[in-house]
Amino acid sequence: KQEVTQIPAALSVPEGENLVLNCSFTDSAIYNLQWFRQDPGKGLTSLLLIQSSQREQTSGRLNASLDKSSGRSTLYIAASQPGDSATYLCAVSGTYKYIFGTGTRLKVLA
């Protein structure tokens, strides 16, 4: 059974710092991995999708990497801003479905 873990559960950093969020999964036989952002009381917004054949994806200040063999993904946020404050969730897909981690709650202090 696939299990997805995100560490740390919460993180507070000053504005301008570069930071790394971690996602680990127990079964390396995945198809895709997706990172999402969720603002309080809102739905999920897709940030990056990494296919299993890829090592990383970049969008603006965000960079996500994937190491299937070790069961890990990282989301790197460069030059963090208060507007980045949100919960970040990763999800891994098998053949038909995504399984989610519990998320990292990020607060960027001005």
Partner 1 sequence: NAGVTQTPKFRILKIGQSMTLQCTQDMNHNYMYWYRQDPGMGLKLIYYSVGAGITDKGEVPNGYNVSRSTTEDFPLRLELAAPSQTSVYFCASSSEFSGVGELFFGEGSRLTVL
Buried b / exposed e over 89-106, threshold 16 CB at 10 Å, is: bbbbbeeeebbebebbbb
Amino acid of residue 43: G
| Least Å from the CB of residue 23 to partner 1 | 11
CA distance 32 to 95: 9
Comparison of 11 and 44: residue with beta carbon closer to partner 1? 44
Site for partner 1, residues 53 to 92, rule: CB under 8 A: 53, 89, 91
SS3 94: coil
Q: Specify the stretch interacting with partner 1 by CB under 8 A; choose among 14-22, 50-58, 65-73, 75-83.
A: 50-58
Q: Which parts of 5-44 interact with partner 1 (CB under 8 A)? A: 6, 30-32, 34, 42-44
